[in-house]
């Protein structure tokens, strides 16, 4: 048995990463091991993907090069200190939202390097975006491990740790803003006289299509917006309402509030 990468936590995000690593052939299932807390998420992940599960993962750490920390932030303190100490000399990759490098390095004090990441929920289907900050500059080998692990969740960017609160406010919480927008668009469609099911379907497909067009196009969101807005037309009438209600200012306030809360939570 030669385990190369170990997961502490086997929930939704760990599952997405494990599946991506196997699909993209970065690791074979037998090179991956996981552990979990009190619920049977670890055995379930092992059964679904063919990776190893160990209630006591210390025995599987051996020659592993990396450890992915994928429990909930509030479960961090409960991670066995013997397990944390046994990760000495390894790369630790944490996906715990809002847990600073300082706290991670206090627990994993013998790690060869630690990477703090901030993924988002679409990572669960490989369509996420993750920002990451290493404690020390990454070696070429560790850079490769980080990139192959994070690519399982979607796109990724290296940032300074001080930017992670703003990243949390934009892309971390961002999917919720989009879900809220989708719900508001659906309800507005119903108010405008459409059957609920049709309004829901139109709302989802509009968001999906617009996002795909935006991602594939070289044009900015403003240019694409202007391209569907003829003077005096229907879109112009709607956009004027958003402008009058200071939609952009509202979005700015929402992101600023999320950032302030992220800073507050990191201090607790
Ligand atoms: N979900 C997202 O889209 C998302 C987005 C951004 C960031 N994140 C971050 O990703 C992390 C994981 O989120 P998730 O949604 O995957 O959580 P989740 O589905 O609740 O999974 C948490 C996992 O950690 C395990 N665990 C709990 N206590 C443990 C312990 N003491 N030792 C070892 N394993 C333990 C749990 O095991 P049992 O349940 O079996 O006890 C479970 O397998 C969180 O830190 C979150 O901040 C998630």
Q: What is the pLDDT of residue 265?
A: 85
pLDDT of residue 157: 98
- For residue 121 and ligand 1, the question of a CB distance below 6 A is answered with yes
Ligand 1 center to residue 158 CA distance, Å? 23
**Does this chain's domain 5-159 share its CATH topology with 172-266?**
no
Q: Are 4 and 27 in contact (CB under 8 A)?
A: yes
Q: What is the mean pLDDT of the chain?
A: 95
Backbone torsions φ then ψ of 32, nearest 5 degrees: -120, 140
Decide if 31 contacts 2 (C-beta within 8 A).
yes
CA of 117 from ligand 1 middle (Å) equals 14
Report the pLDDT averaged over residues 231-235: 96
Collapsing DSSP to helix, strand or coil, 64 comes out as coil
Distance 98 CA to ligand 1 centre (A): 13
pLDDT recorded at residue 268: 74
Question: How do residues 35-66 score in pLDDT, each as one tens digit?
Answer: 999 999 999 999 999 999 999 999 889 889 99
Note the maximum CA span of the chain: 70
Cα of 231 from ligand 1 centre, angstroms: 50
Give me the mean pLDDT over the 9-32 stretch. 94
pLDDT tens track for 145-163: 999 999 999 999 999 999 9
* Ligand 1 site, residue 97, Cβ cutoff 6 A: yes
How far, in Å, CA of 53 to CA of 33, rounded?
Answer: 6
94 pLDDT band (50/70/90 cuts)?
very high
Ligand 1 lined by 70 (C-beta under 6 Å): yes
Q: How confident is the model at residue 1 (pLDDT cuts 50, 70, 90)?
A: low
Q: Which CATH superfamily is domain 5-159 in?
A: NAD(P)-binding Rossmann-like Domain (3.40.50.720)
Name the pTM for this structure.
0.92
Determine if ligand 1 sits within 6 Å of the CB of residue 44.
Answer: no
Q: What is the model's pLDDT at position 195?
A: 98
Q: What is the pLDDT of residue 54?
A: 95
- Which pLDDT score is estimated for 251? 98
CA 78 / ligand 1 centre spacing (Å): 12
Q: Say yes or no: CB of residue 175 within 6 Å of ligand 1.
A: no
Intra-chain end-to-end CA distance of the chain, in Å: 41
The full set of domain ranges for the chain reads: 5-159, 172-266
- Whether the CB of 35 sits within 6 Å of ligand 1: yes
15: Cβ below 6 Å to ligand 1? no
170-194 pLDDT per residue, tens? 999 999 999 999 999 999 999 999 9
Percent of the chain with pLDDT over 70: 100
Band the pLDDT of 98: cuts 50, 70, 90: confident
Q: Average pLDDT of 120-127?
A: 92
Architecture of domain 172-266: Orthogonal Bundle (1.10)
The CB of 113 under 6 Å from ligand 1? The reply is no
**% pLDDT > 90, the chain:** 93
Q: Could you tell me if 5 and 87 are in contact, meaning their C-beta atoms sit under 8 angstroms apart?
A: no
The mean per-residue pLDDT over the stretch 234-239 comes to 98
Ligand 1 centroid vs 248 CA: distance in angstroms? 34
């Amino acid at each position: 048995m030669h385990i190369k990468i170990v997961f502490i936590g086997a929930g939704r995000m760990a599952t997405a990463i494990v599946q991506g690593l196997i699909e993209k052939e970065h690791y074979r299932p037998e090179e991956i091991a996981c552990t979990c807390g009190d619920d049977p998420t670890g055995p379930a992940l092992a059964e679904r993907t063919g990776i190893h599960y160990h209630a006591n993962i210390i025995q599987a750490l051996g020659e592993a090069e990396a450890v992915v920390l994928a429990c909930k932030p509030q479960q961090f303190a409960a991670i066995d200190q013997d397990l944390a100490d046994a990760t000495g000399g390894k790369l630790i990759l944490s996906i715990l939202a809002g847990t600073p490098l300082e706290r991670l390095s206090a627990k994993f004090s013998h790690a060869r390097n630690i990477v703090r990441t901030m993924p988002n929920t679409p990572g669960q289907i490989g369509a996420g975006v993750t920002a990451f900050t290493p404690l020390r500059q990454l070696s070429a080998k560790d850079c490769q491990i980080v990139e192959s692990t994070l690519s399982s969740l979607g796109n990724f960017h290296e940032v300074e740790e001080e930017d992670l609160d703003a990243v949390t406010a934009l892309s971390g919480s961002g999917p919720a803003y989009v879900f809220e927008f989708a719900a508001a668009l659906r309800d507005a469609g119903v108010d405008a006289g459409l059957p609920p099911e049709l309004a829901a379907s139109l709302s989802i497909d509009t968001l999906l299509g617009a996002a795909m067009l935006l991602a594939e196009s070289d044009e900015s969101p403003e240019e694409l917006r202007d391209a569907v807005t003829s003077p005096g037309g229907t879109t112009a009438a709607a956009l004027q309402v958003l402008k009058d209600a200071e939609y952009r200012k509202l979005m700015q306030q929402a992101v600023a509030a999320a950032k302030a809360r992220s800073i507050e939570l990191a201090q607790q």
